[in-house]
C-alpha cells in the first residue's frame, strides 16, 4: 500500500509541479529556483528543453548521492525523470491561459510547492537542489522549505541579472510561495502518508 501511495505521490507531484511551471511561470518568463530555475533560464535565453537541462544538471548530484546517500538516489531518480518528462511534455500548455503576471507567480509557486511537498512527504524529490535541501534538512533538522528558499534565492538573483528586473521580482514572489507551500505540505507529512 505504501509503495502505491508513493508512486501516486510521485506522479501527481510531478504533474502538479509541471502544471505550475508551464501554465503560470513560463508565459511571463518567471523563474523557480534550483535546477528547475537554471533549466528555465536556459529555456528563456536559448530555447533549450527545461527538462533535459534539469537532468544534465542533476547528474553530478546523483553521482554524489550514489556514493553517500544511496537511499535518496533510488528514491529520487524516479522523481527527477518524471518531473523532467512532464515539464517538457506539458510545455505546450504555456500558451493555454494568460493570467496577470503577479497572480501567475503566486499560483505557479503554490503548485510547484504542492508538487515538491507531496514528493518530499514520501522521502523522494525531483533531485537537483531539492535533493541538497533534503540532505541539509536531515543533517540539521531545519525545515526543508527554508533550505529550498535560500538555494532558490541565489538562482533567482542570477536569473534576474541575466533576464530582467521584472523576472527577478516576480520570481522572488514565486519562490516565497514555493517555500511556504512546501513547508506547509511537509509539516503535514504524517497525515498525508497515513491517508
Domain boundaries along the sequence of the chain:
2-194
pLDDT tens digits along 88-143: 999 999 988 889 999 999 999 999 999 989 988 887 777 778 678 778 888 898 88
Per-residue pLDDT of the chain (195 residues; tens, 9 = 90+): 788 888 898 999 999 999 999 999 999 999 998 899 999 999 999 999 999 999 999 999 889 889 888 887 887 888 899 999 999 999 999 988 889 999 999 999 999 999 989 988 887 777 778 678 778 888 898 887 788 778 878 899 999 999 999 999 999 999 889 889 988 998 887 666 666
pLDDT value of position 22 = 97
pLDDT value of position 191 = 65
pLDDT value of position 133 = 79
pLDDT value of position 23 = 97
pLDDT value of position 86 = 97
Three-class DSSP labels, the chain:
CHHHHHHHHHHHHHHHHHHHHHHHHHHHCCCCCHHHHHHHHHHHHHCCCHHHHHHHHHHHHHHHHHHHCHHHHHHHHHHHHHHHHHHHHCHHHHHCCCCCHHHHHHHHHHHHHHHHHHHHHCCCCCCHHHHHHHHHHHHHCCCHHHHHHHHHHHHHHHHHHHCCHHHHHHHHHHHHHHHHHHHHHHHCHHHHHHC
24, 164 Cβ separation under 8 angstroms: no
Amino acid at each position: 500500500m505504501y509503495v502505491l501511495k508513493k508512486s501516486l505521490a510521485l506522479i501527481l507531484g510531478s504533474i502538479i509541479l509541471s502544471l505550475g511551471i508551464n501554465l503560470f511561470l513560463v508565459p511571463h518568463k518567471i523563474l523557480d529556483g534550483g535546477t528547475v530555475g537554471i533549466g528555465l533560464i536556459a529555456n528563456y535565453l536559448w530555447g533549450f528543453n527545461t527538462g533535459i537541462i534539469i537532468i544534465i544538471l542533476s547528474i553530478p548530484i546523483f553521482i554524489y548521492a550514489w556514493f553517500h546517500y544511496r537511499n535518496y538516489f533510488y528514491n529520487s531518480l524516479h522523481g527527477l525523470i518524471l518531473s523532467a518528462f512532464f515539464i517538457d511534455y506539458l510545455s505546450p500548455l504555456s500558451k493555454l491561459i494568460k493570467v496577470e503576471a503577479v497572480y501567475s507567480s503566486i499560483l505557479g509557486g503554490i503548485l510547484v510547492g504542492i508538487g515538491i511537498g507531496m514528493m518530499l512527504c514520501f522521502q523522494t524529490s525531483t533531485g537537483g537542489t531539492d535533493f541538497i535541501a533534503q540532505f541539509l534538512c536531515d543533517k540539521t533538522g531545519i525545515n526543508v522549505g527554508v533550505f529550498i528558499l535560500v538555494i532558490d534565492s541565489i538562482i533567482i538573483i542570477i536569473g534576474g541579472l541575466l533576464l530582467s528586473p521584472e523576472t527577478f521580482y516576480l520570481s522572488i514572489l514565486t519562490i516565497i510561495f514555493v517555500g511556504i507551500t512546501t513547508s506547509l505540505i511537509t509539516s503535514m507529512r504524517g497525515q498525508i502518508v497515513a491517508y
